Structure 1
């Protein structure tokens, strides 16, 4: 005998536990590789430094530009600029275009996004519907909230203070941009079809065809309650909601119907130049102080918020930027960016610039001018 003892094999239960552990680990790895988490690429950043207001240079040139799809209605927030692509978004430095942070999903398509109230709200389509919403802190990219949403396969987001409106084939919904709350959902009436909708300072404006009539309806942005409903002229070949900031405006063919936000009565009508594609041309509106600013077919209209009457109008390439004190507008015009009085449209300063695209929204971040159109975001300095 050599004095050695026979080697004892581990008990059967040890082999079973080991096998189970290996199987669980393999399943976990497989689930991770096929999960949303594995398909998500996200980075964060330090908060952007405060950018004090400053005078624009006498001559501006393009610092950078980026193609976007889908276009966002609001792109500047907390010193960053929102740039979208098929699978997600990035917030970039306004002066250089360098990425500060991003959020992208390889397994999903970005339906739409907007930047409001310090957050970027984005909705993704993972299967056949736009069914996943996320709120990201605009300055840092940190995820603020996430929730499932019941939207249709195509979606448009529009934002204003404390409200994001989601318009899709499943109806109208409003989201709290700084929380997970889906405030309200509204289906069109059985005999109605929604033609267009938008959210602004006065609420959610809806254009709908009901039977043989065309209706404009204003809803409370927070409760969804109907404020008023009124029929409008059906003689026009085309009808579109233009805006709901300070006033409700509807474009019918070659004229603009300006409606009171209080009761829907017609305050005035504006004539538009003929031409363009009335179904797809940009219609842009914002509000400042006691005026509504409407851009349509190459003309910027400043409308009194009480009477709806034009205070002034002038040729422009899009919607202007509004200064922090709401007294000055930076207007994109032919060959220049012009600072004008919000009260009467008079010129205060002018910066020369090469040709600019039409149909954009202008915003200021310190000495940088940001222009967002349906195709691109461009920065000038």
Structure 2
């Protein structure tokens, strides 16, 4: 009998065990959930770039300068915009860092799901706070030179909080209180809440500490208070007599603590708040650029620019060592000399005496109300609404 040929029918396929179907469905569900979470996360909404650290030319500004670049801000400009060879320019959802010599964008950071509350450049970092809902609740720091993230943390600040920075201190302030951050670490050093019935009408931070103006219901006076920038300890409080309908504003807290009441610059000693000087100012003109107050420290002196004049104040007596007409605040990175924005350009002056050491003429002159920084051969001029580079 002939042998039987093997069957050509394929072997029957048995379905996989139930546990395999369960594992597969779970894996697919995890992929879907992860994708949805990523699309709705801040990571997906963040657009950021980094860059190599800049190489700043080792050269001084030329004797004749022209406008090399200009950048309009899409949000209020911080007081300090220059650090690490970069220039910080904010917008509604983030900021960009420009190369100080060319004005070209070096790196940027933006959040489509949040709005920028404020940012400042300090200690080689850009420190910023974002508002995701009704509060400024997310803070981060990026290396100013490269855009590389340094730290991120959650905060709980009012939606109108603003930032100001000085060496080793970042001040977040609002009408109801202040929060002081360590810019290099990410910790909150201390907080101060305005007492019930009181509001903060001004605040600033400098080498002297954190100064605030506090107005309380039922009192005609405005309190000028100074806190230690690191511990938060209250150093002193002084009442400023403000005439009915009069104005009061902080000038700054570098070397000395100064405020403008009406048409008078009040100069206070930082250790005990003693009033050292009452310096008369010209009447206000109503020009917003002329009303901008700036103060910084250069060498051992406090430099105050107010109503068209820069004054170099002695830190012991508060008296002007020198003063002269100026369009804005001088640079303060050199202990021996400063670049002063004046009619026709920038003038190099000796910090101790105010004597002219050199001059860089600017084609077309300068706009009043700026703050000067030097980055190699470039003079960066920060105005209330834009930053301009001259080279």
Both structures adopt the same fold (TM-score exceeding 0.5): yes
Secondary structure of 2:157's partner? Answer: coil
Counterpart check, 1:271 vs 2:280: yes
1:277 is displaced (CA, Å) by: 4.0
Partner of 2:63: 58
| Separation in 2, partners of 1:327, 1:99 | 32
Q: In structure 2, what is the Cα distance between the partners aligned to 1:27 and 1:7?
A: 33
Which residue pairs with 1:250 in the alignment? 259
Aligned with 2:285: secondary structure?
coil
Tell me which of 288, 293, 303 is aligned to 1:293. 303
**Equivalent residue of 1:150, what SS?**
strand
Q: In the alignment, which residue of structure 2 is the partner of 1:133?
A: 139
- Greater Cα radius of gyration, structure 1 or 2: 2
Contact kept? 1:119, 1:138, Cα under 8 Å: yes
Residues of 2 paired with 1:51 and 1:179: CA distance? Answer: 30
Instruction: Summarize deviations over 1:180-216 as a string: whole Å, max 9, x none.
Output: 1110011012232211010000000111113313111
Please point out which of 29, 39, 43 is paired with 1:33. Answer: 39
The answer (yes or no) to whether the contact 1:238–1:278 under 8 Å persists in 2 is no
1:93, distance to aligned residue in structure 2 (A)? 0.9
- How far apart, in 2, do the equivalents of 1:364 and 1:292 lie? 18
Cα distance in 2, alignment partners of residues 240 and 348 from structure 1:
33
For residues 311-326 of structure 1, what are the structure 2 equivalents within 5 Å? 311-324=321-334, 326=335
- SS of alignment partner, residue 149 of structure 1: strand
RMSD: 1.5
Q: Which runs of 5+ in 2 are unaligned?
A: 1-6
> How many correspondences in the alignment?
379
Residues 72-114 of structure 1, C-alpha deviation per residue, up to 9 Å, x if partnerless? 1111111111111111112111111112111111111111111
TM-score normalized by the length of structure 1: 0.96
TM-superposed CA distance for 1:358, in Å, is 1.4
1:94 to 97, 100, 122: 100
Cα distance in 2, alignment partners of residues 278 and 286 from structure 1: 22
Shift of residue 50, structure 1, vs aligned partner: 4.6
Structure 1 position 278, deviation (Å): 9.0
Quick one: distance in 2 between partners of 1:189 and 1:61? 51
List gaps (5 residues or longer) in structure 1: none
Question: Per-residue deviation at 1:242?
Answer: 0.9
Q: Which residue among 346, 350, 364 is the counterpart of 1:341?
A: 350
The CA distance in 2 between the partners of 1:137 and 1:55, in whole Å, is 25
Equivalent positions of 1:109-124 (< 5 A) are 109-124=115-130
